[in-house]
Structure 1
Amino acid sequence: MSLNNTQIKNLKPTQKAIDSKRPDKHSDGQGLQLWVRYTGVKSWISAYRWQGKQQTLTIGTYPVMSLQSARQRNLEIKRLIVDGINPKDDKKKHEQKMTDQRLSIR
């Protein structure tokens, strides 16, 4: 079942998440999940398989990243996989590029 904005806004960590310090996981479909941590932080996670192994990639936090943006980013991740690119490697490369740009501005 797909998530909607009203559901997401109303999500709170369950007692189980608070006691175990493990996030509650809510699926939107196509590997997109919203993890509600015991602190109340809501993180968008893309779950996928790379070379036969289950992987997860944090793509943002709610409400900074909207449901629509998270779905779009999840599709981009799926396209990378189809193109033979590991999404984690792509994220690291992008982060390094951003760091290099910040340093060159100074």
Structure 2
Amino acid sequence: ADAAHALALPNRHRMTGPRSPLGGALPHYGVYPAAEGHVAVGALEPHFAAALVEGLGLDADGDVRAQLTEALSRHDAAHWQVWGEERGIPLTALASPTA
């Protein structure tokens, strides 16, 4: 019962709908295509988001989602995972589904 309650909290606090922080409203939290594969970006906390924007040389006042899409398309997902690990930024290469 405690586990079910804990798992329901994000939904109860409206964090998971389409326009919510965990539902795609934040450009720093989502899945982006890389040159090969996909990258999951999980920079929810402000210091992670700032490090991501600064590390990629993005304009924080611009369209960050479009800039991330363009920047992450330059290299493959494995490259971005290493890049994130080296900087302590939460992003990871996603495994491709098997047929």
Mark yes or no: TM-score above 0.5.
no
**Rg larger in 1 or in 2?**
1
TM-score, normalised relative to structure 1? 0.36
More contact order relative to length (CA 8 Å, sep ≥ 6): 2
TM-score, normalised relative to structure 2? 0.37
